[in-house]
Amino acid sequence: MSPFTGSATRTTRWRHLRVDLADGVATVTLTRRDKLNALTFGAYADLRDLLAELSRERAVRALVLAGEGRGFCSGGDVDEIIGATLALDATRLLDFNRMTGQVVRAVRECPFPVIAAVHGVAAGAGAVLALAADFRVADPTARFAFLFTRVGLSGGDMGAAYLLPRVVGLGHATRLLMLGEPVRAPEAERIGLISELTQEGRADEAARALARRLAEGPALAYAQTKALLTAELDMPLAAAVELDASTQALLMTGDDYKEFHAAFTEKRPPQWSGR
């Protein structure tokens, strides 16, 4: 993401999200607790635009995505999304579906790790948002459900058919996307959908702890690792190792690489600058 901006100023207030930034960690919270944090057109657009802004500013070194109340996110609001889309023509429907995909791309392409803190329901678009994150930290109440076929739509929504097989394998992904059945925390951990399973009520705390650990680390190395993980999913081996070589050669000219050697020589912890 380019750091160069035009005339637009930084957004200081987001209508559909709560955004907190401290010590390089952004915490983005979905705040419709009475609706299990169901997404609206505005919430999708805010997520898309927020991630673009944070990516340009380079002040964020890790991001936690969380939900208020009893669950993480129940997906698209039945009235404000599903009901509203019934009145849209094909052009507007394509615009909407492209926007939801842009949110997932923004999560995958932003230059910092994203940690989804999941408790309770993560359904439909909420499940895909968690899936797109780099880490999914969940407590035992978490349950994931890719519900798109249950409403008569393709299970491959918002990139789910691309991402899910790469996380849990084609067999599990086929079952989850075809049938739309909920996957509770123990099974989600077993098939690799959860990165870390916490005690009940501790997912947010554990996600913040992981975010702080990442924020204190070599940010440029993490950013390039994330970029390579995404870029190389569909590359042949020869192209992947060449991209790895180019990336490593570039990072070897950076301050953090020199800092590690200095810290090792001086027997002290490295002071990462992210450059």
CB neighbour class for 198 (10 Å; exposed up to 12, middle 13-18, buried from 19)? buried
pLDDT values of the chain reduced to their tens digit, one per residue, 275 residues: 566 677 677 887 899 999 999 999 999 999 999 999 999 999 999 999 999 999 998 889 999 999 999 999 999 999 999 999 999 999 999 999 999 999 999 999 999 999 999 999 999 999 999 999 999 999 999 999 999 999 999 999 999 999 999 999 999 999 999 999 999 999 999 999 999 999 999 999 999 999 999 999 999 999 999 999 999 999 999 999 999 999 999 999 999 999 999 999 999 999 999 99
pLDDT at 1: 58
pLDDT at 9: 74
pTM of the model: 0.94
Question: DSSP labels for 171-211?
Answer: HHHHHHHHH---EEHHHHHHTTS-SEE-STT-HHHHHHHHH
pLDDT at 2: 64
pLDDT at 10: 80
Tokens for 130, please give them: 């968690």
